[in-house]
Each structure stands twice: as structure tokens, then as C-alpha cells.
Structure 1
Amino acid sequence: MTKSDRHARTDWYERSGVRSGPHRTVTGPLDPASRFFPPHLVPYWGHPLVRALPDRRRHELLARHLYHYLTYTAHFETRVVNRATERIADGRTGLALPASVRLDAYRIYCDEGYHALFSLDVVEQIAEATGIPPLPYAFDPFLRQLDGIGSELLTGEPLLAQMLQVVVFETLITPVLEEVPGDRAVLPVVRDIVRDHARDEGHHHVYFSRFFERLWNDLPTPLQRRAARCLPELIVSSLAPDLRPVGAALTVAGLRPDAVRQVIADSYRTRRSEAALRSTAAHTVRLFQETGVLELPGATEAFAAAGLLTAVPDPPAPPVGEER
């Protein structure tokens, strides 16, 4: 263990949100002009049918988009990230992990549980302060879809699929974590909790990047090939918008079913959203490139087919005198 690693582990007790962060609360009456969420991060915000809604309904839409983001975060942290992190911490991955790596996993487990807590705490606080209730949300359909990718592409390897899920999710860098803390138009309590979250996630990114190198190098080549074809699908599934709560929020805002379908069709799975997906996944894809994942047969094509690469590079030319 290096000196910097030892410092990072002892430093957790002073710098992690769950150990040292204040309880973030809604203070005073809410400014009617305060934004619950940056509108440019809401794909449907500029749609003509949404722009035509009364201001009050649009205000409620931003609140419910925030509720959805925070509720989804709470579920993903506890039911996907911590599902795998607990296995790492408890030594049930099949890898020979030193105690220091397992202790770090327990620290991350605490972080993620706290992220879920403060996410739902802020939903409740804002709902009480505004009178805008959150809509019912079911995470199970999303989780079944995510787990289904592993069941299909990594048949018989559920543990590996869960390890890859957590690596993917913890190395993605989302626009929300990057942009919200600095957007002074957004409600302060929202900026604060997203800043707290982003600070912890920076450390998690480093941890899971290193963990993936251990995991990848331990896999036999046939399993590496299967995993390489599974990874792009896991990235896309982790970033795919859950459209059910979007439709519910638009419906409550006053749009008829045909208008809801139109807004969703026009706002999601567009060329712009594909570019945003590549941008969000760029650090994760780079990790896989540096680890050698894309060097395996068919891997580059699988990442390109998933829209994660702008172009598929030509195969290397054979040495002079060697036939193709």
C-alpha cells in the first residue's frame, strides 16, 4: 500500500459526506423563481407541447424530474451498486483481495447508503415545502432489464455481471454531477447534495477503475470475450432513460396520451441524446480501452454498434509479406 493510499483511507473519516457532511435542508420559504433542476438537462423541456403548458405545470414538471432523478439514484445506489459492493467487502467475488481493498468497499457501501438517504430526504423536504407530491415510482422493471443483459450475454455468470454493473455505473460521469453544483439558479439544497454526491463519487471512480483492472486480469480469455460483448450493453442500459415516470409526469401536467407519446418520441433517442450518451460514457470506455477490452475480437464492433464509439478503426495492416 502506498503512502497516498493509506492517507486516502484514513482521510475517509474526515472527508466523506456520511462522516462529516452537514444535514442539507430546505431553509426558509422557497423562492418561486428557484429552479428544482437545470431545464437544459430535461430532454423534453423545450418541446412545443411542453412549452405551451401553464407556468405552474412546468414548475411542477421540474420538481418531479428532480424527484425522479433522486429516487432513481437512491434505488440504484442500494439495489445495484451496494449489491455488488457488499460482495467485494465480504470477500465473495472469487478474487484474492487484500483487506485494505475490502475495507474500502465497506466505506463505499456506507457512502452509497448515505447518498440514498439524503436523496429521499430532500424529495420529502421539497414535497412538503411546495405541496408538489412525488409520483409513485417502481424500480423493478429497470432492474429486471439491467439484470436481463447479464442473464443473456453472461449466462451462468450472475456474480460477474453484477461486478461489471457496478464498475460501469461508478465510472460514468454524468452531466448532473458535473453541472448542477455550479448552477446558481438551482435550489441551494439541490446543489449542495449533488456536490456532496459528486465529491464522494470522485473517490469511487478511482476505486472501481482499479478494481476492474484486478477483475479483468483474473478472467480467463473466453470469459473476457463474453464480458467484452456485454459491457457496451450494460453502459447503454445504465444510461437509458426510464420513460415510464416521464410519461406519468407529463400526464399529470395535463398532456393527453397522444401528446405524451409525441413528446417522448421527439425528445428521446435522438442524435443529440446519442451524442450525450457517448460523452457521459467517455471515461468508462477509455478505462476499457486502456485495460485492453477493445482489443478482443469483436469488442470494438460491439462498442460501436452500441453507439459508444464515433467510428470503428480499420484493422491493423499485416506485416509486409504476410497475406491477409
Structure 2
Amino acid sequence: MKINEYRSAFACWDSQASVRSKPLREATEATEFYYPPELVTGHGELQSALGADRLRRLLILHLYAYLDFTVQLESHIVLPVTTRLGTGRAGLDLPVAMRRDAMAITTDEAWHGQFTFDLIERIAAQTGVPPRVPPAYEFQRARGLMRESVEPALRPAFDLLITYVSETLISTKLLMLPRDERLPAYVRGVITDHGQDERRHHAYFRALLPHFWRSLGRRDAAVLGALIPEMIVAFLGRDEALEQHCLAEAGLTPDQAANTAMELREAFPAERLLHDSRACVRYLVELGAVSQDMIEERLVA
């Protein structure tokens, strides 16, 4: 696709977007699992160490953290960028159709925050497990450090790039949760709705990337390109503080939670980072923003 060609993925947005066509989902049956154990680092060891009741509670807490992570990401990172894109304040000369679609994404993301908040409330009411979420996430800490490392004039471009990365990663969690029939139908349904919207967002940011990258000077492109592997790790890498939080809330003492999280450091499947980032990375490699070797060296370290 040439840079001046844009094929919108939003032609049927008015009838297909979840905010336009999907009501808030009512809670259905309770089930044993609310989150796949396989997505928890060291799940095999934890299953035998925690027992059934504490394991179930741990999985519910991980689901809360996943959902809250989504709200934090979209509210604080994606929405400001899509608003600037839609209102023509992102420093890019975009076709009107791309600005219009950016506003549709803004609407989608606000709705995702609302229905995710609602879902957390429904799960808490059904399970009796309070939705205690971590005070912050690793991606927020890492993002803050990276953003501070670039000069102030480059931070709007940094914000757009990290939004591109977040919107084009195809996480195992987003793919696995809707398909896992061990989970309640309403939980799977909400995440399915989210994923369907995100496919349109992925297509949009894929089309936006050449406009953005070619607007950068060589020096700025080099500075931002060097941060791309760290951006991917920030979103997809292990969050040990989150794991420790969930273990403590599931019933371990603070010392037990800290020691258990530390012992599981080698259990995180590093190959998942390469798998979940392959589309995001492919587009960047095609533009010359990064090399495949550079990405692999960092993600499998």
C-alpha cells in the first residue's frame, strides 16, 4: 500500500463496533476457572503449592489485573494519542478518513474502559473475591523511564510510537481467553467484543505507521527505534510485582509471595514475546525502523 492510499477498516463501524451493537453482558454461570492457569508464570508449581481454593482465587486476581491493565493502557496511553490524531494535533498530515477513524478508535477505547469496569464488578459480585488490583504495572514504570530518556520535543512522537506498539501486539491472552470454555461465557464474550474492535485498531495503526515513521528525521528515528525492543518487553514481559501482589491477595504471606515470585523467574516463557510481537515487528522491519536481529537479541535475552 502506498503512503497516500488508505483503505479504512471502519466502513461498517456503525453496525459492527461493540459500542454501537453490543450491550453490557449480563453475568451467566459461575465456573471453576476465571482465567487460564497456563497464563500464570509457574502455574504447574503453583497448582500443587496453593491448593484448589487459593488457586481459584489467584486466577480471579490475575483476571482482575489483566482487565485493569487494559483500562490503564487505553485510558492513559491510547486515548490521548487517538484524540490528537483525530483532531489533527499529532503533527502528521493525515487524510480526513484517517482522522475520522482515529475518532472512532477514541470512542471504542472509552467504551472498552467502561465495559471492562462493569465486567470487574460483575465478577466480584459473583465470586465474592474483592477486585484488589496492583497499584501500578511494570509497563507504566518502564514507559515512564523511557519517556523521560528522550528530549521533551520528541515525547509526542514517543507517545505515538508506543501506542502503535501496544495496538499491534497480538497477545496470547487476548487470543486465548475468548476460546477457553472453562471460563464463564460472559467473561469470554466481553473479551471477544474487545478483540473484534482491536482488529480494526490494529489495521489502522498498521496503515498509520508509514505516515508517522517517514515524518521523522534520521536522528529522531534512530533514538525512537532503539527503544522499540524495550517497548515490547514493557507490554509483554513478566511483571514480577503483579505476580507477587496476586499471590499475597490469594492468601500467601508477604514474604511467601515475594519468595515464590522470585523462585518463578526462570519459568516465564520468553518465546512468548517473539510470538506475540511478530506482526508489530514485521511492519517495523519492513520500514527499516528496526532489524529482526536487534529484536530477537533483546526479546530472548
Report the TM-score, using the length of structure 2 for normalisation: 0.91
The offset of 1:90, in angstroms, is: 1.4
Name the aligned partner's letter for residue 289 of structure 2.
V
Q: Would you say 1:231 and 2:231 are equivalent positions? A: no
Name the aligned partner's letter for residue 58 of structure 2.
L
Alignment partner, residue 211 of structure 1:
208
Alignment partner, residue 315 of structure 1:
none
Distance 1:236 1:64, change over 3 A: same
The structure with the largest alpha-carbon Rg is 1
Alignment partner, residue 134 of structure 2:
137
1:51-200 pair list within 5 angstroms: 51-139=48-136, 142-153=139-150, 156-200=153-197
The offset of 1:143, in angstroms, is: 2.3
The answer to whether the 8 A contact 1:74-1:115 is kept is yes
The offset of 1:301, in angstroms, is: 5.8
The offset of 1:217, in angstroms, is: 1.1
Alignment partner, residue 30 of structure 1:
30
Cα separation, 1, equivalents of 2:274 and 2:159: 22
Q: Would you say 1:289 and 2:281 are equivalent positions? A: no
**What are the superposed Cα offsets for residues 25-69 of structure 1, whole Å, 9 maximum, x if unpaired?**
203x524x3x10111111132225x52223211111111111110
Unaligned regions of 5+ residues in structure 1, if any? 310-324
Q: How many residues align?
A: 298
Distance 1:194 1:71, change over 3 A: same
Cα separation, 1, equivalents of 2:97 and 2:161: 21
Alignment partner, residue 9 of structure 1:
10
**What are the superposed Cα offsets for residues 243-298 of structure 1, whole Å, 9 maximum, x if unpaired?**
3332122113232344323322233454x52111111111111111111113xxxx
Cα separation, 2, equivalents of 1:204 and 1:160: 18
> What percentage of aligned pairs have identical amino acids?
30
The offset of 1:154, in angstroms, is: 5.5
Cα separation, 1, equivalents of 2:156 and 2:140: 15
Name the aligned partner's letter for residue 11 of structure 1.
C
Cα separation, 2, equivalents of 1:2 and 1:96: 13
Segment drifting more, 101-110 vs 248-257: 248-257
The offset of 1:91, in angstroms, is: 1.0
**What are the superposed Cα offsets for residues 185-241 of structure 1, whole Å, 9 maximum, x if unpaired?**
111111101111111111111100111111011111121111210111111112233
Indicate the SS of the match to 1:273: coil
Cα separation, 2, equivalents of 1:249 and 1:230: 29
Alignment partner, residue 274 of structure 2:
278
Cα separation, 1, equivalents of 2:166 and 2:137: 17
1:45-56 pair list within 5 angstroms: 45-48=43-46, 50-56=47-53
Cα separation, 2, equivalents of 1:239 and 1:112: 20
Distance 1:257 1:144, change over 3 A: closer
Cα separation, 2, equivalents of 1:139 and 1:284: 25
Query: Larger relative CO (CA 8 A, sep 6+): 1 or 2?
Result: 2
The answer to whether the 8 A contact 1:146-1:238 is kept is no
Name the aligned partner's letter for residue 39 of structure 1.
P
Distance 1:3 1:84, change over 3 A: closer
Name the aligned partner's letter for residue 19 of structure 2.
V
Alignment partner, residue 259 of structure 1:
256
1:297-316 pair list within 5 angstroms: 302-307=294-299
**What are the superposed Cα offsets for residues 139-184 of structure 1, whole Å, 9 maximum, x if unpaired?**
3774243132132145641101100110000000001111221211
The offset of 1:137, in angstroms, is: 3.2
Cα separation, 1, equivalents of 2:42 and 2:25: 29
Distance 1:154 1:303, change over 3 A: farther
Alignment partner, residue 321 of structure 1:
none
RMSD of aligned Cα (Å): 2.3
Distance 1:70 1:156, change over 3 A: same
Indicate the SS of the match to 1:184: coil
Alignment partner, residue 38 of structure 2:
40
The offset of 1:306, in angstroms, is: 1.6
Cα separation, 1, equivalents of 2:153 and 2:6: 40
The offset of 1:308, in angstroms, is: 5.9
Distance 1:293 1:136, change over 3 A: closer
